[in-house]
A and B are shown apart, each in its own frame.
Chain A
C-alpha cells in the first residue's frame, strides 16, 4: 500500500476531556477514506490535527512519509473543505479559488488562469465566476469550497461533513458527484461524516469512531457484514440482539409455521408493521417480552397485529463480537 497519510497513536487531550484517544490510521494514496462516528466522538478534532489547526497531545502525523507535527497549516500540503464552507464573503467565486493559488499554489505560477478555469469547469461554475458567495445557492457554495481546495492539488483533501449543510434531496445527488469527482482527480479524500449511509456508499475504506477511539477499520462491506463490536454493528444499521450476538433485520424472517431443521427460530407475536415501499418492516414481541424487527418482502404473507408467528434466521447470519465495545 502506498501510504500518503499516517496517524500514529495520536491523542488530543482537552482539559478534562480526551477528544481523540490513541488513533492509528494509514490512508493510501488516491483512496476515498471516511471517518464515521456519532456527534462528539472526535472526528473534527482528528481532522484539525491533520490540517494543523490543533496539535496532538501525543502521537505523530506523517504526510507523504514526512512527520508534520508542529507545522503550520500553511506549510502542510493538505486542504480542508469546512463544514460551513468558510468562503471569503468579500471575494468572488474566482477570487476565492485564486486565493489559495496565490499562497499555497505558488508552484503553479504562470498557469494560474488555466488552472482557475479548469477548476471552475470541474464544478460547473464557469458562468458564475464573478458572483459573491452570498449570491450562490448552498450547493454552489459547496462546489466553490471544493474547487478552492482541489485546485491546489493537495496530497489529502480533508472534508468535514461537507454535505450536512445541504437539504436531504440535494445531498444524495451531490454525494454521487463527489465520488465521481474524486475518481477523476485521483486526489486522496479524507471524509468525515456521522451519516452511515454516506460513509458506506462513498468509501473505499472507512474507520468507525466511538468516544475518541477507532473501533474498526475496513471496507464498507467488511464493516457492515463483520462488525467487530456491538457499537459498530448498531451504528451501521438496525440490529436484533440475541443471546449469542446479533442479527440484521434483513436476515431475520417471519413465518406462520416453524421453519425446518437447521434454522433457528423463536415464537413471537406481531406488534406493529410498517410498509416501506419495497419491503415491510415488522416488529414482533418474544415470549421474554423483548422485541425484534424483521424485514420481509412486500409479496410475502401480510401479517396483522396480534398474529402468532415464528421468527427465524440462519445460523451463519448471526453476528458474534470478539471485541466488546466499552458501553
Chain B
C-alpha cells in the first residue's frame, strides 16, 4: 500500500524538485553571492544584497505594491461578487456566462494590455470619444498612473475572483435564503447576514488568487504605469536586466516569497479554525 502510494507520488516529487525546489535553491545561492560585472554572479559570498533590502527606498516600493495589489483585490471583490451572484442565479444560462468570464484568456495578456493602452492613451478611443462629445476639451490622463495600473490589474485578475466566488454561491442552499426571508430579513439583510458570511471561503480563495499575482505583477505596471509606478515585480525584473544585479534581484524575490507565504499561512490557519477554507 505504502509502496504504491510512493510510486504514485514519485512523479510529483520529481516535478517539484526539478521545477520548484532546484530553481529556488539556485536563487537562494545567488542572493548570497557577489554581483558579476556583466550580470550573473561571482565569488565571494556576501550578505550585502540582504542588507540592502532594508533601504527605505525599497520599503516604499514594497508598500506601494501592497497598496496597489490590495486596492485591485478589493475592487475585484466588489465587481466580482455581484457578477458571481448573478451567474449563480442565471439558471440554464450559467455555463454561457462562465464561458464569457473565461473568454479573455483565449488571447495573450500582453495583447490585451496593449489593447487597453490603445483605448486609454491621449489619442485613444476613450479620449477621442469624450472630446468628440464635448465632455472634455483636453485629453484626460487615463494612462501611465496608479489608476491605470489598478485598472489593468483588476481587468487581468477579475476571473480569478469570480470563479471561486461562483463556486461557493452556486453551492449555497436556496432554502437558507428562503429561511432568511421567512424570518423577516429583506434582501439586503439576507445578503449581509447570510449570503456574504457563507461565501467567506470563496471570498478568501478569490482574494488570495488575485492578490498574490497582483503583488508580483510587472507587465501591467510597466506598460500601463509607464514605468512611473514601479511595483516590486518591476524592481526584480530590473535587477536581472538593466541593473545587472542578480544577487539583489534574487534576495528581493525570496523576500517577497517569504512575505506572501507568511500571509497565506495566516489566512489558511484562520480558515482552518472556522473549518471553512
Contacts and interface: CB of A to CB of B under 8 A. Distances in A.
Chain A interface size range: 20 to 34
Nearest to B185: A103
Contact of A79 (B180, B182, B197, B200): B182
A306 interface: no
A79 B185 CA distance: 12
B198 interface: yes
B182 A90 contact: no
Nearest to B173: A86
Given A88-B194, A103-B189, A73 B181 contact: yes
B178 interface: yes
Nearest to A104: B184
Contacts of B176: 86, 88
Nearest to A87: B179
Interface string B153-174: 0000000000000000000010
B182 A51 contact: yes
Contacts of A106: 184
A323 B75 CA distance: 66
Nearest to B194: A88
B178 A74 contact: no
A84 B176 CA distance: 10
Given A84-B173, A84-B175, A99-B193, A89 B198 contact: yes
A258 B145 CA distance: 105
B37 to A, nearest CB: 60
A106 B173 CA distance: 26
Contacts of A79: 182-183
A105 B175 CA distance: 20
B179 A80 contact: yes
B184 A103 contact: yes
Interface in A99-136: 99-100, 102-106
Nearest to B198: A90
Contacts of B52: none
Given A99-B193, A103-B189, A88 B184 contact: no
Contacts of B200: 90
A149 B186 CA distance: 17
Contacts of A80: 178-179, 182
Interface in A37-82: 51-53, 72-74, 79-80, 82
Given A82-B175, A84-B175, A86-B173, A72 B181 contact: yes
Chain B CB within 10 A, most for which of A51, A53, A105: A53
Chain A CB within 10 A, most for which of B173, B182, B194, B198: B182
A36 interface: no
Contacts of B186: 72, 74, 103
A206 interface: no
Given A103-B184, A104-B184, A53 B178 contact: yes
Given A84-B173, A88-B194, A90-B198, A99 B178 contact: no
A53 B180 CA distance: 12
Contacts of B179: 80, 82, 86-88
Given A103-B184, A103-B189, A73 B178 contact: yes
A72 B183 CA distance: 11
A148 B175 CA distance: 15
A152 interface: yes
Nearest to A97: B183
B189 to A, nearest CB: 6
A100 B185 CA distance: 8
B178 A86 contact: yes
A103 B175 contact: no
Contact of B181 (A74, A90, A148): A74
Contacts of B180: 88, 99
Contacts of B185: 74, 99, 103
A103 B183 contact: yes
25 contacts: A51-B178, A53-B181, A72-B181, A73-B181, A74-B181, A74-B182, A82-B178, A82-B179, A86-B176, A86-B179, A88-B179, A88-B198, A90-B198, A99-B183, A99-B185, A99-B193, A100-B184, A102-B184, A103-B183, A103-B185, A103-B186, A103-B189, A104-B183, A105-B184, A148-B183
Given A74-B181, A86-B179, A89-B198, 8 more contacts: A72-B186, A73-B181, A79-B183, A86-B175, A86-B176, A88-B176, A88-B198, A90-B197
Interface of B: 173, 175-176, 178-186, 189, 193-194, 197-198, 200
Q: Which 5 A-B pairs have the closest CB atoms?
A: A104-B184, A103-B184, A100-B183, A86-B179, A86-B175
